[in-house]
């Protein structure tokens, strides 16, 4: 059995939390440039320029690209042939978050839901653990901002609404969200599963690279159709008018109950932070 120390995971969570907040991925940066060429609104082009410049400053000066350095969402695919040594995995992840948010001068954004008192170290992390075949551990660190999360939506649609109803819900969600989730956004859409799984599918869809289509051509076609319709809404960068409302739409699907049709839309702002590592 392969042994992996939880200390290595703790250190990776720390390092990736800092790096993800300072270095915007090339996938998102390339999308800014690509969309700027197509953007017809002068205000919209100006904002895309600001975002490109913002990413440069954050990377070069080692400061977060956005002051909302996110709730720490951590996905772990744990190989079933791995033996984790040296302690508790959840504690190691939370310790890594605590270290990273302290040492990286990241904002601590978790609070008690009633009193709103800040917890002070950005814990607890949201951990999604999945047991998978093999002898590797794959880890994603996804700091997720509050503004875009607040505009996300889950609907338990009646099955008679069909695929057209699901598409309508996605578009209506973006229409209602307007400027609030910091467009240009990336959409994670989860269709199927049940009440808790549809949002998780949507969140997992956001782990994909911007510009990467679903391998299933049927789903890829739906992604493209939704992207075009969303960009026809006219919200544009920051909602100030323009053709760049979304940089991409990522869809994930799974079977559901014969009585149900869950559809979840998770909105990701342009500070699209997701880093991964394999042990």
- Interface with another protein (CB under 8 A): 40-44, 47, 50-51, 53-55, 57-58, 61-69, 105-109, 116, 118, 120, 145, 147, 150, 178-180, 182, 229, 232-236, 238-243, 269-271
Closer to another protein by CB, 44 or 79: give it: 44
Q: How far apart are CA 65 and CA 225, in angstroms?
A: 30
**Cβ 204 to another protein shortest distance, Å:** 23
Of 6 and 51, nearer to another protein (C-beta) is: 51
Residue 217: CB minimum distance to another protein, A: 24
Q: Are 73 and 144 in contact (CB under 8 A)?
A: yes
Q: Cβ of residue 161: shortest distance to another protein, in angstroms?
A: 18
Residue 215 Cβ, how far from another protein at the closest point, in Å?
28
CB of 103 to another protein, least distance (A): 10
Q: Where are the alpha helices (DSSP H) in 23-83?
A: 26-38, 42-61
- CB nearer to another protein: pick between 20 and 269: 269
Phi-psi sector, 209: left (phi>0), alpha (psi -120 to 50), beta? beta
* Cα separation, 89 vs 217, whole angstroms: 38
* Residue 30 burial by Cβ neighbours in a 10 Å radius (0-12, 13-18, 19+): middle
Residue 232 vs 278, nearer CB to another protein: 232
CB closer to another protein out of 239 and 262? 239
Q: What's the maximum distance between 2 C-alpha atoms anywhere in the chain?
A: 59
Gap between the Cα atoms of 268 and 149, Å rounded: 7
């Amino acid at each position: 059995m392969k042994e992996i120390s939880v200390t290595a995971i703790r250190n990776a969570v720390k390092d990736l939390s800092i790096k993800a907040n300072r270095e915007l991925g090339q996938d998102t940066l390339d999308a800014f440039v690509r969309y700027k060429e197509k953007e017809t609104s002068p205000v919209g082009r100006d904002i895309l320029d600001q975002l490109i410049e913002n990413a440069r400053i954050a990377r070069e000066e080692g400061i977060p690209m956005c002051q909302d350095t996110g709730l720490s969402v951590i996905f772990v695919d744990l190989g079933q042939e791995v033996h984790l040594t040296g302690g508790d995995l959840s504690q190691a992840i939370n310790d890594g978050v605590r270290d990273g948010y302290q040492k990286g001068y990241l904002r601590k954004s978790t609070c008690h839901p009633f009193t709103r008192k800040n917890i002070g170290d950005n814990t607890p992390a949201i951990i999604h653990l999945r047991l998978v075949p093999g002898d590797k551990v794959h880890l994603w660190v996804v700091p997720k901002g509050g503004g875009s999360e607040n505009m996300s939506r889950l609907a338990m649609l009646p099955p008679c609404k069909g695929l057209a109803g699901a598409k309508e819900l996605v578009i209506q969600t973006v229409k209602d969200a307007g400027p609030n989730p910091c467009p240009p956004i990336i959409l994670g859409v989860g269709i199927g599963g049940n009440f808790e799984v549809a949002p998780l599918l949507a969140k997992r869809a956001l782990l994909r690279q911007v510009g990467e289509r679903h391998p299933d051509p049927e789903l890829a076609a739906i992604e493209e159709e939704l992207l075009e319709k969303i960009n026809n809404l006219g919200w544009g960068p920051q909602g100030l008018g323009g053709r760049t409302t979304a940089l991409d739409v990522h869809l994930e699907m799974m079977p559901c109950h014969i009585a149900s049709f869950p559809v979840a839309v998770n909105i990701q702002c342009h500070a699209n932070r997701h880093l991964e590592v394999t042990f």
